[in-house]
Copies of this chain bind each other. A is one copy, B any other.
């Protein structure tokens, strides 16, 4: 109910960003979708806060578990969106660079996918 005030913390971040943007505009494919990613993540943060409210208010466990599943799904969707851009940008760049650069990038991506599958 009174959680809106907490959102202001994320509102102050953008002022720090410019210092990094030269770097971000380079190899990181997700830069162009930054606003989308932040929106998703703010919603996930809100879901984590909603879970706290449910526990505080003694909501029935099964309903809390439903909300946990929704939050996990939202996190996975964010991960898939990030991975999609990563493969399109970083892996593609490595392919153009040639040979071992690509193998390293793909192995790294596979490790990340494997970690997502096991979590």
A86 and B8 alpha carbons, distance in the complex (Å) = 36
Q: A53-B9, A76-B72, A95-B95 are known contacts. Are A28 and B58 too (CB-CB below 8 A)?
A: yes
A residues within 8 Å of B by Cβ?
1-14, 16-17, 20-21, 23-24, 27-31, 34, 37-38, 41-42, 44-46, 48-49, 51-53, 55-58, 60-62, 64-66, 68-73, 75-76, 78-80, 82-88, 90-92, 95-96, 102-103, 106-119
CB closest chain-B residue, reference A61? B86
Chain B residues with Cβ below 8 Å from A58 are: 17, 20-21, 23-24, 28, 31
| Nearest chain B CB to A14 CB, angstrom units | 7
Taking a contact as CB atoms under 8 Å apart, the answer to whether B6 and A49 are in contact is yes
- Interface-central residue, A17, A80, A103, by most chain B CB under 10 Å: A80
